[in-house]
Amino acid sequence: MNDKNSTATTSLDWTGSLPSRPAGGASPAAHPTMPAPHVHFPSAASSAAPSATTRATSEADTSAGQAQLSVTGIKKSYRKGPHEVRVLDGVDLEVYPGEFLAIVGQSGSGKSTLLHLLGTLDRPDAGEVYLGDERIDNISARQRDRLRNDYFGMIFQFYHLLPELTALENVLAPMMIRLSTLGYWTNARRLKRKARALLESVGLGHRIKHKPRELSGGEMQRAAIARALIAKPQVLLADEPTGNLDQETGAEIMHILRTLNREQGLTIIMVTHDAKIACQADRVVQLVSGRVEQVGSG
């Protein structure tokens, strides 16, 4: 568990070892570094007139390119005993294809809540969430599950690895869940090769048979990143990914994320309370009193 003991180095041969994203497809908007999603999610971009669940392209969309993911007027409250606590109070935010965005704010300001809403882990009380032109906060739970599995990868401060599984098995777990038993075993060799390649690409090739308790914090986060990438997400959501790591190990994890963003065009939305970590992103926004304020470029 001692990050200082971590000797893993990051192999940066991403093009060789990370899964490539297929080209083509529909929404979100075309972007030089961000091909459209490989999932078949109904696309409003391909239909002529916006329906009740789509929206017209705004002037801002046209000038800055279409947002890949956006929220408008998001409100979210939690009930604490008899009290209702308003956490998000009208959040508007657009995230563009291939962008590395940091969301900062004090502890309890609603960063994780917002990230969960962006990743369809939760639904807002009011407001709308869009993937490209398609509204996604009002789709069925089943559609949301499918979309989340196909479109988003997530990493967390405390890694959330399954303790009884090896690093390799942890990386494979999303595919075991996603595919039928037959589907998994039919593809097992290919998937294992892919999982091993991903672990190698994040500098963990020498630890694939280790269980989480035999890994340092930095190594666990590397395994969690590989797990988040196995299903080829279009957006990586990272909740305080360096929050439990020493500075040096945190910098290594940031280097991996930065490289994924630059070389794979992976859109990353990262929540952090650490200004030094946030400023490594392309753009920083701050949550204050339940709303988003622009801070500037990283």
Ligand X SMILES: Nc1ncnc2c1ncn2[C@@H]1O[C@H](COP(=O)(O)OP(=O)(O)O)[C@@H](O)[C@H]1O
Q: Which residues form the interface with Mg ion (CB under 5 A)? A: 112
Determine if 170 is a binding residue for ligand X (CB under 6 A). Answer: no
**Least distance CB 148 / ligand X (angstroms):** 18
Stretch that binds ligand X, among 43-51, 105-113, 178-186, 249-257 (CB under 6 A): 105-113
Task: Count Cβ atoms below 10 Å from residue 139 Cβ, excluding itself.
Answer: 20
**Least distance CB 111 / Mg ion (angstroms):** 5
Bridging pattern class, strands 267-271 and 100-104: parallel
Tell me which amino acid residue 19 is. P
Determine if 109 is a binding residue for ligand X (CB under 6 A). Answer: yes
Task: Report, in this order, helix, strand and coil percent for the chain, each rounded to 5.
Answer: 35, 20, 40
- Is-contact 36 93, C-beta < 8 A? no
Residue at token pair 């971590």: 6
- Is-contact 272 281, C-beta < 8 A? no
When the beta carbons of 8 and 114 are compared against Mg ion, the nearer one is 114
- What is the three-class DSSP state of 94? strand
Contact partner at residue 109 from Mg ion, ligand X, none, CB < 5 to 8 Å by partner kind: ligand X
- Is-contact 105 284, C-beta < 8 A? no
Determine if 112 is a binding residue for ligand X (CB under 6 A). Answer: yes
Pairwise CA distance, residues 76 & 82, whole Å: 16
Residue at token pair 């990051």: 10
Determine if 65 is a binding residue for ligand X (CB under 6 A). Answer: no
Q: What is the DSSP letter of 135?
A: E
Determine if 124 is a binding residue for ligand X (CB under 6 A). Answer: no
Q: Which helix (H) or strand (E) holds 281?
A: none
* Of the candidate residues 37, 97, 98, 110, the single one contacting ligand X (CB under 6 A): 110
Stretch that binds ligand X, among 22-30, 58-66, 102-110, 217-225 (CB under 6 A): 102-110
CB environment 84-97: b (16+ within 10 A), e (fewer): eeebbeebebbbbb
Residues 187-226, one symbol each (x = binds ligand X by CB under 6 A, - = not), give ----------------------------------------
When the beta carbons of 43 and 112 are compared against Mg ion, the nearer one is 112
Pairwise CA distance, residues 69 & 132, whole Å: 6
When the beta carbons of 68 and 109 are compared against Mg ion, the nearer one is 109
Contact partner at residue 98 from ligand X, Mg ion, none, CB < 5 to 8 Å by partner kind: none
When the beta carbons of 98 and 105 are compared against Mg ion, the nearer one is 105
**Least distance CB 207 / ligand X (angstroms):** 30
Helices (H) and strands (E) in the chain, counts: 10, 10
* Of the candidate residues 78, 177, 209, 213, the single one contacting ligand X (CB under 6 A): 78
- Taking phi over 0 as left and psi of -120 to 50 as alpha, with beta for the rest, 136 belongs to alpha
**Least distance CB 20 / Mg ion (angstroms):** 32
Determine if 264 is a binding residue for ligand X (CB under 6 A). Answer: no
Contact partner at residue 78 from ligand X, Mg ion, none, CB < 5 to 8 Å by partner kind: ligand X
Determine if 63 is a binding residue for ligand X (CB under 6 A). Answer: no
Q: Report the interface residues with ligand X, using CB under 6 A.
A: 78, 80, 85, 87, 105, 107-113
